[in-house]
A and B are shown apart, each in its own frame.
Chain A
Amino acid sequence: MDHHSILRVVSKLLIPPIIVYALYVQWHGDYGPGGGFQAGVIFAVAFILYGLVFGVEAMTDVLPTSFIRVAMSLGVLIYAGTGLYALLAGYNFLDYEAIGHGGHHAQEWGILIVELGVGITVASVMIGIFVAFASRTPKLKDEDW
C-alpha cells in the first residue's frame, strides 16, 4: 500500500475522529440512540481500517491478539460482574438499585457500566474476527476432502 499515499493520509486523518465518535456513541447511549454495541462496532472500524491500509501485522503490533482475547472476555465479565455485585449486595441479579446511591443515579451508572462491557466485547470480537480472517493461510488441500 506504499504507493497509495492519498489512501494512507486520509485514513490517518479519519481514524482519530472515528474513535472519538465511537466514544461519543458509547457514553451518549443512556440519553439518545447509541450504546455499547454500536459504539463497539464503530471503535473496531477504526482498527480494521488501519489494518486494511497498513497491513494486519502493523495493527496487531498495536493490539496483540492475546490482548484482544483478554479484552473480549473482560467485557463479558464486566457485564456479568455488575449483576453479581448486585446479587452480593442483597438485590436480585442485575438489579442496578445496588449501585451508588440508588434511584436514578443507580440506574444511570448501572446501564453505563453494563454498556461499557458490551462495547469492549463487541469491539474486540469485531477486531478478532477481522484478524482471524485476514491473517489466515489456507491449510486445506483438495485431497483432504
Chain B
Amino acid sequence: MIDLITKNLPALQVVIPLMAAPICAIFNRGRLAWTIAFIVAIVSFAISAALLSQTLDGGVISYHLGGWAPPIGIEYRVDVLNAFVLLIVSGIAVVTLPYAVKSVAQEIPQEKQGFFYTALLLCLTGLLGVTITGDAFNVFVFLEISSLSTYALVATGAERNRRALTAAYNYLIMGTVGATFFVIGLGLLYMATGTLNMVDLAHQITLRGDSRMLHMGFAFVLVGIGLKLAMFPLHLWLPNAYTFAPSAVSVFISATSTKVAVYVLLRFMFGIFGFDYAYQQSTLQYVLLPLALLAMFAASLVAVFQTDLKRMLAYSSIAQVGYMLLGTAFMTQTGVMATVIHLFNHAVTKATLFMVAGAFVYSVGSSKISDLKGLGRAMPWTSAAFVVGGLSLIGIPLTVGFVSKWYLVQAALELGWWPIAAAIVLSSLIAVAYVWRIVETLYLHSPSPDSKAKEAPLAMIIPMWVLAAATVYFGTHAALTSAAASRAASTLISASNIIWQ
C-alpha cells in the first residue's frame, strides 16, 4: 500500500482534491464539506512536501498518466521548481481553511457553504494541476478549472456586497480573453513543432530553429499568461475581484493564483523557449522590463490613495507581481532565483495581510480605512499582525520581504543596472507610505465612541499569526527557501543550456 502511494504521488496530488470536490457537492453540508476540504488540504500538503524532498537533490519525477509514454501521453513532471510551488499552494490551503470557518459562516449563507468548499477544492485542484503537469495543453485545462472556480468563488461575495457580481463578471471576461490568447499561442506552438509535451517542445524548437510561427506563439502565450498574472496594463480585473471576494477567497487566491501564473510564465519562457532564444531576450528586456518597473511604481502609487484596505492590498499585489516580472526579465540565475523566492515570500506576506483585512471585515463589518480608526486597542492581535505583514511588504530586514528585495537588488547589481536597483529601493519607499497610512489609522487615531469592535475569534487569529510568524521565521532563516529557489533557478538554466547546445 505504501509502495502504491509513493509510486503514484504525482497523480494523487491532483486526484485527491479533484475527487473530494464532487463528494462535497453531493452532501452539500457546510460543516462536512469543510472537514473534507481541510483533510484534503493536509493530505495535499503532505504529498507536496514528499515530492519536494524527493526532488530537492535535483531529481526529476516523471509520471505517465494512463501508462502512455510522453510525448504522446500526458506527463506529470516534478522538479524542484514545481515541487516548491506545489508546497506554497497546498500550504496556503492548509492555513486558509481553519481561517475560513468563521468568516465563511458570516459571509456565505448556510445552504451555499457546501458548494463554496466544492469550488475551493476545484480551485486547489486546478492550481496544483497547472503546477505539476509537464504537458502544455494540460496547463490550459487546469488553468481553466482553477479560473472558472475562482469566478464562482468571487461571485459568492455578493451576499456582502452586490458589486462582487460585476467584479466576478469582469474577471470572467478578462480571464477568458487571457485563456483564449494562451490557447491560440499553444495552437501556434503545436503548428510549429507538432508536440505539446513541454520537454519535447523545447527539443523540437532547438531542432527546427526559429520561425515567425514561433514568434507568434511566444507572443500569444506571453499575453495570455500576462492577463492571468495581472501584468501591469492587463491587471484591471484584479482590484475588484480581490476587494469584493469573501475574505477567505481573497486570502487564498491572492496568495496562490497569480503565483501559479508566474510559475507558468517561468516554465514557458525558460523551460520551453530557453535563455538563449534571441526573440524572447529582446521581448523580455524591451517589453517586460519597462512594464514591470511601471507596475512597481504606478500600482504602488495607486495603492497609496485607496480608501479600502482590501483594495489597497490588491493594488500592492499588482506592484509585487511587478517585482516578480522584473526578476524574470533579468534572465540571470540570481534574477530567476529572486522571482522564485518572491513567489513564496509574497504568498506568505499577502496571505497574512488579507487575513487581517478579513478579520476587520468580520469584526467591524467593513474594510474601509475610515472604519478602522483606533482599532489597535480593540483588536491588538490583528493590528499587530498587520504591522508584521506591512513591514514585510516594505522589505524591512528580519522579514521575508527583505530577503526577496535583497536578491532582486543583487541581481540588478550583477548586471550593473544601477538605476533599476535604485528603482527597487525607491518603490519600496512608496510601500512605506501606504502601509504607514493604515498603521497610523489603527494606532494613532482615537476610536469612534460608538465602536463596539471586538478582537477577532481565535480561529482567525491563529492562522493569521502562523503566517505572520512564518514571515519572520523565513526572513531570519532564509537559507531554507533560498536553497530551494536557487536550485529551482539552476534547474531551469541547466535544462535550457542542455537544450541549446
In the bound complex, CA of A145 to CA of B165 (Å)? 10
Residue A131 is within 8 A (CB to CB) of chain B in the complex: no
Contact between A97 and B22 (Cβ–Cβ < 8 Å)?
Answer: no
Q: Besides the contacts A69-B25, A87-B11, A92-B65, what 16 more A-B pairs have beta carbons closer than 8 Å?
A: A69-B26, A69-B28, A73-B22, A73-B23, A74-B22, A76-B18, A76-B22, A83-B15, A84-B15, A87-B4, A87-B8, A90-B4, A92-B11, A92-B67, A94-B65, A144-B162
Contact between A97 and B4 (Cβ–Cβ < 8 Å)?
Answer: no
In the complex, which residues of chain A have a beta carbon less than 8 angstroms from the beta carbon of B21? 76
Contact between B4 and A73 (Cβ–Cβ < 8 Å)?
Answer: no
Partner of B26 from the list A70, A80, A83, A145 (CB cut-off 8 Å) is: A70
Partner of A92 from the list B18, B22, B26, B66 (CB cut-off 8 Å) is: B66
A-B contact pairs, 20 of them (CB 8 A): A70-B26, A72-B25, A76-B21, A77-B22, A80-B15, A80-B19, A83-B15, A84-B15, A90-B4, A92-B8, A92-B11, A92-B64, A92-B65, A92-B66, A93-B63, A93-B66, A95-B66, A95-B67, A140-B162, A145-B162
Residue A88 is within 8 A (CB to CB) of chain B in the complex: yes
In the complex, which residues of chain A have a beta carbon less than 8 angstroms from the beta carbon of B18? 76, 80
Question: Which 5 pairs across A and B sit closest by C-beta, in order of nearness?
Answer: A73-B22, A95-B67, A93-B11, A94-B66, A76-B22
Least Cβ–Cβ distance between A106 and chain B, in angstroms:
11
Residue B31 is within 8 A (CB to CB) of chain A in the complex: no
Least Cβ–Cβ distance between B142 and chain A, in angstroms:
14
In the bound complex, CA of A34 to CA of B365 (Å)? 52
Least Cβ–Cβ distance between A61 and chain B, in angstroms:
21
In the complex, which residues of chain B have a beta carbon less than 8 angstroms from the beta carbon of A72? 22, 25
Nearest residue, chain B, Cβ from A89: B4
Residue B235 is within 8 A (CB to CB) of chain A in the complex: no
In the bound complex, CA of A138 to CA of B4 (Å)? 52
Q: Mark B63-80, 1 if CB is under 8 A from A, else 0.
A: 111110000000000000
Residue A96 is within 8 A (CB to CB) of chain B in the complex: yes
In the bound complex, CA of A142 to CA of B400 (Å)? 46
Given contacts A77-B23, A95-B67, A97-B67, contact A145 B15 (CB under 8 A): no
Contact between B4 and A88 (Cβ–Cβ < 8 Å)?
Answer: yes
In the bound complex, CA of A83 to CA of B63 (Å)? 14
In the complex, which residues of chain A have a beta carbon less than 8 angstroms from the beta carbon of B163? 145
Contact between B28 and A93 (Cβ–Cβ < 8 Å)?
Answer: no
Nearest residue, chain A, Cβ from B114: A69
Residue A21 is within 8 A (CB to CB) of chain B in the complex: no
Least Cβ–Cβ distance between A145 and chain B, in angstroms:
7
Interface bracket on A:
20 to 34
Residue A91 is within 8 A (CB to CB) of chain B in the complex: yes
Contact between A96 and B15 (Cβ–Cβ < 8 Å)?
Answer: no
Least Cβ–Cβ distance between A113 and chain B, in angstroms:
13
Least Cβ–Cβ distance between A136 and chain B, in angstroms:
13
Q: Which of B21-71 contact A (CB under 8 A)?
A: 21-23, 25-26, 28, 63-67
Nearest residue, chain B, Cβ from A95: B67
In the bound complex, CA of A145 to CA of B64 (Å)? 50
Q: Mark A109-142, 1 if CB is under 8 A from B, else 0.
A: 0000000000000000000000000000000100
Partner of A74 from the list B4, B12, B26, B63 (CB cut-off 8 Å) is: B26
Q: Which of A58-72 contact B (CB under 8 A)?
A: 69-70, 72
Nearest residue, chain B, Cβ from A76: B22
In the complex, which residues of chain A have a beta carbon less than 8 angstroms from the beta carbon of B64? 92
Partner of B8 from the list A93, A96, A140 (CB cut-off 8 Å) is: A93
In the bound complex, CA of A88 to CA of B26 (Å)? 24
In the complex, which residues of chain B have a beta carbon less than 8 angstroms from the beta carbon of A88? 4
In the bound complex, CA of A125 to CA of B30 (Å)? 21
In the complex, which residues of chain B have a beta carbon less than 8 angstroms from the beta carbon of A83? 11, 15
In the complex, which residues of chain B have a beta carbon less than 8 angstroms from the beta carbon of A80? 15, 18-19
In the complex, which residues of chain A have a beta carbon less than 8 angstroms from the beta carbon of B4? 87-88, 90
Nearest residue, chain B, Cβ from A87: B8
Nearest residue, chain B, Cβ from A88: B4
In the complex, which residues of chain B have a beta carbon less than 8 angstroms from the beta carbon of A73? 22-23, 25-26
Nearest residue, chain B, Cβ from A81: B19
In the bound complex, CA of A140 to CA of B163 (Å)? 11
Least Cβ–Cβ distance between B134 and chain A, in angstroms:
14
Least Cβ–Cβ distance between A93 and chain B, in angstroms:
4
In the complex, which residues of chain A have a beta carbon less than 8 angstroms from the beta carbon of B28? 69
In the complex, which residues of chain B have a beta carbon less than 8 angstroms from the beta carbon of A92? 8, 11, 63-67
